[in-house]
Amino acid sequence: MFTLNCKGRLLTIVKPIVMGIINVTPDSFFVGSRMTVLDELLSQAEKMINEGATILDLGGQSTRPGSEDVGVDGELSRVVPAIEAISRHFPEIVISVDTYHARVARGAVEAGASIVNDISSGTLDANMIATVAALNVPYISMHMKGTPKTMNKLAEYEDVTLEVLNFFIKKIEVCRLA
């Protein structure tokens, strides 16, 4: 059991919960998650909420292997309007932003997101962890070697368990210090 403080609302998690994934990008790895029209986005959000999603995770940058970076401004232009619309229509839902850019994390939280989900654990933007600490929101730190464009070529380990464990031991300390 654990508790998340999301914008003053405490979420106590005592059992597994569902996070719905909505990608506001035309080149997501999963075609069924791609939502670029606002009405479709809201319809999909409502469907996911009705099916039991507690959190909706929105991403505006494809992170599939080989994907191209759309840049901070491109990502902001995709996620901020989507987060604002979902927040307005479904104020009870917890929103997570899937980004590895600190400026996008800040813009998303200002628009209504409550969690930052970073596939790079701050390795692709040196300002990410300090930004999330200043925003005082929960942070999902993930492991990845390289970038989305190169990660498939770098996924080799001598001891995957030990290497990932050591990575997170270091990241937890960095987060704690921030």
Mean pLDDT of 116-121: 93
For the cut 70, the answer to whether the pLDDT of residue 133 exceeds it is: yes
Q: Domain for residue 152, yes or no?
A: yes
Q: Under a CB-based contact definition with an 8 Å cutoff, are residues 40 and 77 in contact?
A: no
- Domain of 154: which CATH number? 3.20.20.20
pLDDT band for position 4 (cuts 50, 70, 90)? low
- Average pLDDT in the 91-103 region? 96
Least confident of 39-48, 69-78, 86-95, 146-155: 146-155
**pLDDT surpasses 70 at 132:** yes
How many domains would you assign to the chain? 1
Q: What is the pTM of this model?
A: 0.83
Please write the tens of the pLDDT for every residue from 160-176.
899 889 888 999 999 99
Tell me if 8 is assigned to some domain.
no
Positions of E strands within the chain: 2-6, 9-13, 18-23, 53-59, 94-98, 115-118, 139-141
Residue 143 near residue 112 (C-beta atoms within 8 A): no
Structure-block tokens of residue 89: 């229509």
Note whether residue 145 is domain-resident: yes
Please give the pLDDT value at position 33.
46
What is the number of other CB atoms lying within 10 angstroms of the CB of residue 33? 16
Q: What percent of the chain has pLDDT over 70?
A: 80
Phi and psi of 33, rounded to 5°?
Answer: -100, -5
Report the alpha-carbon distance of residue 123 to residue 102 in Å, rounded: 11
CA distances for 79 relative to 26, 125, 139, 152, 169, angstroms? 13, 18, 17, 26, 31
Q: Does a structural domain hold residue 7?
A: no
Task: Give buried/exposed letters for 93-108 (b at 16+ CB in 10 A, else e).
Answer: bbbbbbbbbbbbbbbb
| Domain hosting residue 114, numbered range | 18-177
107 neighbors 80 (Cβ within 8 angstroms): yes
- Residue 10 is assigned to a structural domain of this protein: no
